[in-house]
Chain A
């Protein structure tokens, strides 16, 4: 910067070109040095320069789904009373039937609900949800309030599907730590998801709300 200052009086345009050029080269070189590519190319590049760096401090109740869920052990549901009241009775849920079906890697514990780089640890399976079964499963939107307040989280939802294909009960099995985010997710699944008619079924749906 000192160099730029002294040159400034003589030819600012040249100084500018040089400074910006140097910055670009620096970005390029250091970018290459920064190491291997860490992420799948599933992200947007269309944002420009400028947003001041802002650290999201962890929320009061960080979401930390217990690893036990991923290991399919019985777990007292951690959903808030509000959510529980709004959904199906959880007592009958046979959580123990999960071992054969749940891959251990399917839902990793979140270190911090608000860590902006949570994406780095997202498992490869965390891609756009395309179920291999007939039905209609639109993605829920990211709530505007949650986006604005920097709220992120992961939750696990248990859906009972009636013979008609409509969800007969939708319950939070593992809270995101934000009752309102949980409520948003279960409301959406209950209202928007439909399966093909058939025998009554039940599904565990992990949802990951993640800010970039």
Chain B
């Protein structure tokens, strides 16, 4: 500051003071902490959160693939179009996938070939919740819970935004374009999104795999009224998708339409910080076409609603309590009618709390009590192995979680968690009886099944700050009763089924019964990042990660099926001259701990690279991404996939994306 300038300021100061204006008093800064990962210490904080550029840098093929690089997570990989995350060996109904907090109301938990009805292109944020916070969404939380957020109902006034995002890939012939428009007018905020995506048959090191192409379109519109005391909003969305599932001539056509209502009221009463409510109403159907003729049709019509009460701090205690209620009718018609029509009802009461015990210790705890009822209609078909009469089953699962968190110092912390979960058997585990093409099995349920029960113990050591950060955790999950599918000879002779599995003269399918067995899951996960360079515009880091899980039937010591073998990997990442880059190599071990009739998978190393660059073009902010996958074109089998023998992982591929924000 020049002397002249200073003199001018002093003069100005004198003048203004003489104008007798009151002097502003400066307050202490208000610090508002958000979190891209982790978060402010609340009862609902997810353990992992992906959004923005972190999410865009990942695969868009299936929900399972999006999370598959995280230690402890695998994908169920049923071809390039269908895959759910598998966390710590737990999948299906054991791993809840919520959509904006409510159920996705699709058919994905009933069979691995049924896609999750959320396309990764519409996801704006993905949360993985563990421990007490996961009880907000599910009572089966030994693997955690996943919540995907699509922003379709705005919760606040939104800055005007228009985004176009195009991607193209070589391994799966990906062509996708998605568009997003958001903005506010007065008290109203709106959101509009749409995408179209197509893929060709998947290219693998053993050649192109027929019947894996896909074609999907989806759109959503939402509008909210936002006021000083909260918001209320409505959205409508739709998804249409057709995709192959590697079986010759078989194609799945999926259609979902969904209404959502959501709102929140701030401080409605002294004891409440906020009350938020959500309702989702969905109409889902998918048909399995055999040579263009609809063979089987699965429908799921239902709703799911929840109300969350965020409590005002009681002393240092913070918490959320809530209720969730859902109903859905699930029906299957056609060749693959391996289930009777069912009506499913679920009501839950839950709470999750954080209680600081001292300056460096806090206790997180939560509970969830559910009332679940499955009612099946009377039915019959050729070869039915079980009782065809109408029946219903009711359960009251109760789950508890406790986590003791201690900060060892400003950088290190440790968490000891104890979890007890109970899960009501689902309609399939209770009432299935028929040929199921997705699993190539004759599945038989057991209507006398009791609740699935398990307890889990986990110890985590984490270093969240500093040049070196990372975490290490070991866990042991012990199920006194785990609902598993066990081989039991062959199903009945069937005629006229006509599906591809029967055409080769096989008219008997292997029979699998749902039975309750005692099971053990144990494993470890580790990740460490060395930030070698951490400037404002130049960064470089080295990361190591690994995970391992072992699952077995405690009675027979036999391994449970489709468990990922361990893996260990390293990645070098950095930011230089406006380019972010990442090179990684992951060695997946062979899986030789197998269930009966399961085939082993060999070990393999996957090497990949990705690049990102932000720049300006014609007044728009642009982001270019490039991903190179499976650089050495290795033939790899995913041990957690049902169809690992038929379908290897994708071969060498390049995927480029360009995102323009106006």
Contact A16 B527 (CB under 8 A): no
B598 to chain A, nearest CB (A): 17
Q: Does any Cβ of A come within 8 Å of B597's Cβ?
A: no
- Tell me the bound Cα distance from A208 to B32 in angstroms: 6
Contact B27 A204 (CB under 8 A): yes
| B228: chain A residues within 8 A (beta carbon) | 191-192
Q: Does any Cβ of A come within 8 Å of B19's Cβ?
A: yes
Q: How large is the interface on A (under 10, 10 to 19, 20 to 34, 35 or more residues)?
A: 35 or more
Partner of A94, one of B23, B125, B403, B470: B23
Contact A211 B30 (CB under 8 A): no
Q: List 19 A-B contacts (CB under 8 A).
A: A1-B568, A13-B550, A23-B544, A34-B467, A37-B409, A44-B38, A45-B464, A46-B403, A49-B72, A54-B36, A57-B53, A94-B23, A95-B16, A97-B23, A100-B23, A125-B29, A127-B31, A142-B33, A210-B32
| B155: chain A residues within 8 A (beta carbon) | 144
B50 to chain A, nearest CB (A): 6
- Tell me the bound Cα distance from A112 to B40 in angstroms: 22
Partner of A150, one of B36, B40, B409, B570: B36
| B517: chain A residues within 8 A (beta carbon) | none
* Binary CB contact string for chain B from 126 to 161 against chain A (1 if under 8 A, 0 otherwise): 001011000000000000000000010001111100
Contact B32 A207 (CB under 8 A): yes
A residues near B (Cβ < 8 Å) are 1, 4-5, 8-9, 12-13, 16, 19-20, 23-24, 26-27, 30-31, 34-35, 37-41, 43-58, 60, 68, 73-74, 92-103, 106-107, 111-112, 115-117, 122-123, 125-131, 137, 139-150, 152, 154, 158, 178-180, 183-184, 187, 191-192, 200-212
Contact A96 B32 (CB under 8 A): no
Contact A97 B16 (CB under 8 A): yes
B residues near A (Cβ < 8 Å) are 1, 9, 12-13, 15-17, 19, 21-41, 45-54, 57-58, 69-73, 124-125, 128, 130-131, 151, 155-159, 182, 228, 359-360, 364, 403, 405, 407, 409-413, 415, 460-468, 470-473, 524-530, 534, 536-537, 539, 541, 543-546, 548, 550, 565-566, 568, 570, 573, 575, 578, 580, 582, 587, 589-590, 603, 614, 616, 621
Q: In the complex, what residue of chain B is closest to A136 when comparing beta carbons? A: B267
| B409: chain A residues within 8 A (beta carbon) | 37, 41
- Tell me the bound Cα distance from A19 to B472 in angstroms: 12
- Tell me the bound Cα distance from A46 to B537 in angstroms: 29
- Tell me the bound Cα distance from A114 to B587 in angstroms: 34
| B529: chain A residues within 8 A (beta carbon) | 53
Q: In the complex, what residue of chain A is closest to B406 when comparing beta carbons? A: A45
Contact A49 B471 (CB under 8 A): yes
| A211: chain B residues within 8 A (beta carbon) | 33-36
Contact A8 B124 (CB under 8 A): no
Contact B48 A47 (CB under 8 A): yes
Contact A212 B38 (CB under 8 A): yes
Contact A101 B21 (CB under 8 A): no
| A52: chain B residues within 8 A (beta carbon) | 50, 54, 57-58, 69-70, 582
| A102: chain B residues within 8 A (beta carbon) | 26
Q: Is chain A's interface secondary structure helix, strand, loop, or mixed overall? A: loop
Given A143-B156, A144-B151, also A41-B410 (CB < 8 A): yes
Partner of A41, one of B24, B33, B407, B568: B407
Contact A140 B32 (CB under 8 A): yes
Contact B24 A203 (CB under 8 A): yes
| B550: chain A residues within 8 A (beta carbon) | 13
| B412: chain A residues within 8 A (beta carbon) | 31
- Tell me the bound Cα distance from A97 to B415 in angstroms: 50
